[in-house]
Amino acid sequence: MRISNFVKLLTCAAALQLGAGAAMADDTKSPWQVRVRLIDVVPDESSTTSIGGQANVDNSLVPELDISYYWTKNWSTELILATSKHNVTATGTALGDLSLGDTWALPPTMLMQYHFNADGTMRPYLGAGVNYTFFYNADAGDVDSIDYENGFGLALQAGVDIDVTDEWFLNLDVKKLWLNTDVSINGGAVTADVDLDPWVLGVGFGYRF
């Protein structure tokens, strides 16, 4: 009986020690994390224009950087930074098909994320947040001038991190952004209301400090 109780005591002590060790490991893990992805920005556009027809925006393959801060092991905030260049055309208008040149879009996006299976080697997550899109370096194409209005939009996200080492992991990620811009062509002679609403498909790697 004494031996049995002693074994039980050792077992409990070992379990407590392992638990304390795990807690210390969690306490020493940095809350900061970075990811680098290659993303495909795929506009899901719809539009109305003052001369009929519709605007068409092509895809763009670009790098993306994001920085995350973990408030708890499950909850984090992520700031996403990427900029993409898109060619724009107008088809079926009263003036025929027009090239509207190209423009750069920069939509910094802030997301609140929840990470499932936070202690596992495969950690799915969901995120929701907002973006503010800046349009810059627009080239007018077949028209004399073109201007895109900046603005706020919403964002949703789903992805998974898969451990490769204790610090490094692979990442798969998909986001849906809602982006709207009012477009002014030739000083307002022609106007358009364009919903870009892109899907952003990404693959990359990350590092937890």
pLDDT digits (tens, 9 = 90+) for 73-110: 999 999 999 999 999 999 999 999 999 999 999 999 99
| pLDDT single digits (tens) 28-42 | 779 999 999 999 999
| pLDDT single digits (tens) 176-194 | 999 999 999 999 999 999 9
Place of tokens 């899109």: 133
| pLDDT single digits (tens) 117-168 | 999 999 999 999 999 999 999 999 999 999 999 999 999 999 999 999 999 9
- Per the CB < 8 A criterion, the answer to whether 153 and 180 are in contact is yes
Q: Does residue 16 have a pLDDT over 70?
A: no
Separation CA 169–CA 160 (nearest Å): 10
At 85, phi and psi to the nearest 5?
-105, 135
What is the per-residue pLDDT for 27? 52
Place of tokens 């209005």: 149
Terminal C-alpha separation, the chain: 48
Residues recorded for the chain = 209
**DSSP per residue, 44-92:** --EEEETTSSEEEE--EEEEEEEEEEESSSSEEEEEEE--EEEEEEEEE
Q: What is the pTM of this model?
A: 0.84
Separation CA 203–CA 18 (nearest Å): 35
What is the per-residue pLDDT for 2? 43
Q: Around 16, how many Cα atoms within 13 Å sit in the side-chain half-sphere?
A: 6
What is the per-residue pLDDT for 33? 97
Higher-confidence residue of 73 and 2: namely 73
Place of tokens 């709207």: 180
What is the per-residue pLDDT for 177? 97
Separation CA 94–CA 92 (nearest Å): 7
At 30, phi and psi to the nearest 5?
-65, 145
Separation CA 133–CA 150 (nearest Å): 6
- Per the CB < 8 A criterion, the answer to whether 84 and 109 are in contact is no
Q: DSSP letter for 188, please.
A: G
Q: In one letter, which amino acid is 205?
A: F
What is the per-residue pLDDT for 29? 78
Q: For residue 139, what are the β-bridge partners?
A: 102
